[in-house]
Amino acid sequence: MVFLGDSIIEGWIGRSLGQQKERKQKNIKVFEELFDMDKGGDFDGIALGISGDKSQNLLWRLKHGEMPKSLKSKVYWVLIGTNDFLYAEAEQCSEEVILMGIQRVVEEMMILRPSATIVVNGLLPRSDIGRGTDGRLYEKNEKTVMDAIDIVNEKLKAYCDLHDDLEYFDPSGLFEDEDPKLGKGKFAKYIPKDLMKDALHPTALGYKKWGQKIVEKLRSVLDVKLDVE
């Protein structure tokens, strides 16, 4: 399988902008255990992520050589769009624009690999409250980036449901916990630091928890596809 995306994907193989980072080296072992069949994984995978990429950057890559004919995979896993949420209010894209960008990437993949299974990963949770220092996701009477992510993910799922050759992966709850001290319902939700130290990028433990769910999804998707075929 092929993972496509931004720093969240690149960080899984210990890199940022193509450079190995010491603080990310534990992530590599997690990736290999899950997506290297020579090391016990159920699937073989490669991660094609570049830190800082937005949807338009990934689209450019797809149209300019990142999908050569020699790169063949049964599954392409797409996670892109979180970098369109910038802190500068004047620069932040609307939910509709972010959704359109992700859809355009997916449409390009459907053109390039019409016989493959394409899984669209919903945007992972992130916190912009105090720049993610306490991991809180929602605030009363104030819209947060997590509120916008919820809107995008809901529409992404609806988009995938309209296409038989697309699969949606729901990441909700994977990186979240609840603290009653923060409030009730959604206002009690936060990202634990052991899963995302900066409330944006997974830790090795976060990658493991996410990766195990990815493997479950892949088994389900491929089993169904093989039965149909």
The angle subtended at Cα 225 by Cα 224 and Cα 229, nearest 5°, is 120
pLDDT for residue 87 is more than 70: no
Helices (H), the chain: 7-10, 25-35, 55-63, 95-112, 145-161, 204-228
| Cα separation, 190 vs 51, whole angstroms | 24
* pLDDT tens per residue across span 184-222: 999 999 999 999 999 999 999 999 999 999 999 999 998
Residue-level pLDDT at 88: 46
Q: Is the dihedral of CA 20, 22, 24, 27 positive or negative?
A: positive
Note whether 34 and 69 are within 8 A (CB): no
Token pair 């206002």: residue: 187
* pLDDT tens per residue across span 15-48: 998 899 999 999 999 999 999 999 999 999 999 9
The terminus-to-terminus CA distance of the chain in angstroms comes to 19
Tokens, residue 96: 């509709």
Q: Thinking of the domain 2-228, which architecture would CATH place it in?
A: 3-Layer(aba) Sandwich (3.40)
- 228 pLDDT tier (thresholds 50, 70, 90): very low
Enumerate the domain spans of the chain.
2-228
